[in-house]
Structure 1
């Protein structure tokens, strides 16, 4: 059996209502992430949590030592599950993520989290570039509205464009339900 890892990227409190950079639809995304997390734990997949800490002077979100930087309760790490700390958009840049995947013999990665247009896109591309079979669960990811040259791009369009780009050349991009339906039945003792 191929060793698979679930990589949960930046589901942190600042991205939820009441946080310093709330996204569009984070509650639905993290609920799907929690379903995938429960299935991964039952299956015995490697589970890796990625937590971003903003170290830039004047940072206003994901600041170390704040409630906003903490991983959301719905996907809180269980004892023994690695938490990879990152300070850049790409979860592989200057982190222990690749070494942790190698240590567990991982060949396939399933990615969920935030933000679709930044950390999910970067992690999906890097995972593929490193040779991992990569799946992104589009409805277990969230993003926000963006602005470019005076135009507001709605979060749904930002998300769709990034999922389409990942699906074109980097990852299998599917819904949570499709991913969970493909899970082998677990024997009950």
Structure 2
């Protein structure tokens, strides 16, 4: 979680995702938000259904979103949520806060990058790159200690996967940074 500039509210990743989608897509039901998350960012990150449905009333209670009820005769009443100006200010503070070691949050911030500036995203991408370099160095430090005997033989498969994934993440981060820097000019 990150403390926002108002120093009164902390956003979880799920809360930030909900506020971001409400800012991008407008008023939505919980069901519609789940569909949007699954379709748009589900390949990178998705909250549990129970998480999302717990977050919505909390955001409304805290004044970050507003809820309205649509009465339906054949179905249960539907709750629709929209972001408030206070929710947008809190979201903006979350978008600007650089958070070391938070890959899910970085991916989410990049996904909703249209809500902020390329310069802000460059800061996030630079932090992601630093975190990935540190992780790669850590994994490469483990590699020589793996005997590849007994269970180490099998552990090595995952170690190599981690190393190769980190190496590819660095290539990707460099590409993202180049694209963002081009957009910032």
- Under a length normalisation based on structure 1, what TM-score does the superposition of the two structures give? 0.31
**Greater helix fraction, Structure 1 or Structure 2:** 2
- Under a length normalisation based on structure 2, what TM-score does the superposition of the two structures give? 0.32
Which of the pair has the greater relative contact order for Cα pairs under 8 Å at 6+ separation? 1
Structure index of larger Rg:
2
**Greater strand fraction, Structure 1 or Structure 2:** 1
